[in-house]
């Protein structure tokens, strides 16, 4: 089974699980989405650090969220590529753009703009943690995509704009939320940097320079807009380990998954 087929199977399984949870949340059969969201580790973990509040909420999803985030030290952001329902939805929605299927596919955003926009998710992460610590976390939560999907009756203008980054913009810009706005992705990137500083081996995509034919297909098809052909190993924390560059590479063994320090 190819990487893409295996990944699709895993994505569909987790999308079905997420759809069942969303159904029960929307129709009130389950209480709150925070009980199932790994990002609760930030939303409510930071709140628990405030001595005035004095307690942690939703312990189980907090622990799961921290485990997933910490696992990126060894696996990279494989969670984004295989498990996250928001990531999978964006990926499937991007298929509506016919240019994504063509060999000459190009990214709409220049690398300069792309690199500037990458900063946004770190700002959102800081904002989330600060508001949670101050116990005014509702400022983020009321516009959180998970909450807006589960409680469409309460959605406001900002919430609609947030959902457009998941259901509309990915038609034109792949994984827009993952790349630029997801605070959980920012947290995982920071943890990867810590792992790199500690020289902990991480699963990375490795290229053989002598095998490269400079076709640029790996760059064109990378959903995270990483310049793969310019590097021996993909140290970029934005890599979600989707393996699309490996499949598109015309040279057998030109790109491979390897555990690299």
Q: Of 91, 41, 73, 63, nearest to 188 (Cα)?
A: 73
pLDDT at 99 over 80: no
Beta bridge partners of 207: 255
* Contact assessment for residue 135 and residue 52, using Cβ atoms and an 8 Å cutoff: yes
pLDDT at 123 over 70: yes
Which of the residue ranges 48-52, 201-205, 219-223, 239-243 would you say has the lowest mean pLDDT? 48-52
Cα 38 from Cα 69, distance rounded (Å)? 9
Highest-confidence segment of 34-38, 78-82, 95-99, 138-142: 78-82
Residue with tokens 């590479």: 249
Question: Residues 55-63: what's their mean pLDDT?
Answer: 82
Highest-confidence segment of 48-57, 134-143, 197-206: 197-206
Q: Of 203, 200, 196, 214, nearest to 256 (Cα)?
A: 203
The ranges assigned to domains in the chain are 3-194
Cα 21 from Cα 26, distance rounded (Å)? 9
Residue 102: pLDDT band (50, 70, 90) is low
- Whether the model clears a pTM of 0.75, i.e. scores above it, the answer is yes
Q: Average pLDDT, whole number, for the chain?
A: 87
- Beta carbons within 10 angstroms of residue 27's beta carbon: 8
Question: Which pLDDT does position 54 carry in this prediction?
Answer: 63
Q: Of 104, 223, 110, 93, nearest to 171 (Cα)?
A: 93
Phi, then psi, of 61 in degrees rounded to 5? -65, -30
Question: Residues 160-174: what's their mean pLDDT?
Answer: 91
Q: By percentage, how much of the chain surpasses pLDDT 70?
A: 95
Q: Both tokens of residue 95?
A: 């298929």
Burial class (CB in 10 A: 0-12, 13-18, 19+), 31: exposed
Question: Which pLDDT does position 164 carry in this prediction?
Answer: 92
Residue 151: pLDDT band (50, 70, 90) is confident
Q: By percentage, how much of the chain surpasses pLDDT 90?
A: 43
Tens-digit pLDDT profile for residues 177-226: 999 999 999 999 999 999 999 999 999 998 877 778 888 888 888 999 99
Question: Which pLDDT does position 106 carry in this prediction?
Answer: 64
């Amino acid at each position: 089974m190819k990487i893409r087929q295996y990944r699709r199977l895993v994505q569909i399984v987790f999308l079905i699980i997420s759809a069942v949870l969303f159904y029960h949340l929307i129709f009130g059969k389950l209480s709150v989405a925070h009980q199932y969201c790994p990002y609760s580790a930030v939303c409510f973990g930071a709140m628990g650090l405030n001595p005035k509040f004095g307690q942690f909420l939703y312990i189980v999803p907090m622990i799961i969220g921290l485990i997933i985030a910490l696992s990126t030290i060894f696996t990279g952001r494989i969670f984004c590529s295989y498990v996250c329902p928001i990531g999978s939805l964006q990926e499937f929605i991007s298929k509506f753009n016919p240019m994504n299927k063509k060999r000459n596919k190009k990214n709409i955003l220049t690398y300069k703009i792309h690199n500037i926009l990458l900063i946004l998710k770190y700002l959102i992460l800081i904002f989330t943690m600060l508001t949670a610590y101050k116990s005014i976390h509702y400022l983020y939560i009321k516009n959180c995509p998970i909450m807006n999907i589960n409680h469409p009756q309460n959605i406001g203008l900002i919430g609609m704009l947030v959902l457009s980054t998941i259901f509309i913009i990915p038609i034109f810009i792949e994984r827009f939320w993952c790349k630029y706005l997801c605070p959980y992705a920012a947290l995982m990137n920071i943890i990867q940097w810590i792992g790199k500083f500690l020289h902990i081996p991480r699963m990375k995509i490795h290229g053989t320079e002598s095998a490269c034919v400079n076709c640029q297909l790996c760059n064109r098809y990378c959903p995270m807009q990483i310049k793969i052909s310019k590097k021996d190993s993909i140290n970029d924390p934005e890599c979600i380990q989707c393996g699309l560059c490996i499949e598109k590479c015309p040279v057998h063994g030109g790109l491979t998954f390897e555990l690299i320090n």
